[in-house]
Amino acid sequence: MAIYTNVRGLARGLQVLKALNSMEGGRATSQEISDLTGLHRTTVRRLLETLMEEGFVRRSNSDDSFRLTLAVRSLSEGFTDAERIATVAPPIMGRLLQAVTWPSDLTTPDGDAMIIRETTHRFSPLSFHRAMVGRRLPMLLTAAGRAYFANCPEMEQHEILELLRSGSGGEEQQAFARNDSLVRALIRRVRDEGFGSNNGDWAAQAKIGSIAVPVFAAGNLRGCLNVVYLTRAVSPAEARRKFFPELQRAAADIVVALQDDADS
């Protein structure tokens, strides 16, 4: 139940913006907006006047129609691809949790690390952490980071390595990034296997293992999806056998959900 009452004026203003957005060319008369929204024409005119004052709508001098201005784009500037994937992923991650029981994270790149955008840690009976959203995972030491790094464009790989070689990700990653043979082997292994993995490789989380797959949509790498487990409970071979197929299915479902979201 909502704590505060609905602000009808705001809700109606959004109705008008949506109606204009749905019209051909983002253009309509106040009567057409009234017909579409069911709002009284006088109410529509008042709302349009307010939106004009705020710079989101302008009125044509020739035919008294109203149209959206470029200012409406500012309303969506903060909604990034990372936010979009985090929006569609939760129900799919819920189904993944039911299949594997161990918790999973949805991660996107954040400079020299991966940042957790969504997680099922708070719902998993096997979770060993709770507050995970917003946490940064080392790029070269975790399954999610490795899955992303190995599959991102070569230019981006070079940029990530430059950051890590400068020490921005700590001494452990700095040494790894400066070892060209280790980096090449990592890229080759992840691409051959189709997933990233770590089995206690991150010293700060030595008891934790993970397996992760990349999420591609429209030909672009959007992020990674992992399953996290305790190394004493699950072996790498078992993780591959039990979790990899489920992760692949979940990643494919996220891609479909992203496409549906774009089409809606």
- β-pairing, 136-138 vs 113-119, is antiparallel
CATH number (1.10.10.10, 3.40.50.2000, 1.10.3720.10, 3.90.180.10) of 8-75 reads 1.10.10.10
**Confidence (pLDDT) at 145:** 98
Cα three-residue angle 221-226-227, rounded to 5 degrees: 165
Give residue 261's pLDDT band: very low, low, confident or very high (50, 70, 90). confident
**Range from 24-38, 132-146, 242-256 carrying the lowest mean pLDDT:** 24-38
8 A C-beta contact, residue 84 and residue 258: yes
Kindly state the tokens that stand for 253.
């479902």
8 A C-beta contact, residue 206 and residue 186: no
- β-pairing, 66-68 vs 57-59, is antiparallel
8 A C-beta contact, residue 253 and residue 104: no
Residue 60 vs residue 209, higher pLDDT? 209
**Domain 8-75 identical in fold to domain 81-263:** no
- Secondary structure (H, E, C), 222-252: EEEEEEEEECCCCCHHHHHHHHHHHHHHHHH
8 A C-beta contact, residue 258 and residue 222: yes
pLDDT beyond 60 at 79: no
Give residue 74's pLDDT band: very low, low, confident or very high (50, 70, 90). low
Domains of the chain, by residue range, sit at 8-75, 81-263
Give residue 70's pLDDT band: very low, low, confident or very high (50, 70, 90). low
**Range from 33-42, 65-74, 127-136, 226-235 carrying the lowest mean pLDDT:** 65-74
For 178-215, letters b (16+ CB in 10 Å) and e give: eeeeebeebbeebeeeebbbbbebbeebeebbbbbbbb
**Confidence (pLDDT) at 1:** 45
Domain 81-263 fold is Beta-Lactamase (3.30.450)
Residue 68 vs residue 243, higher pLDDT? 243
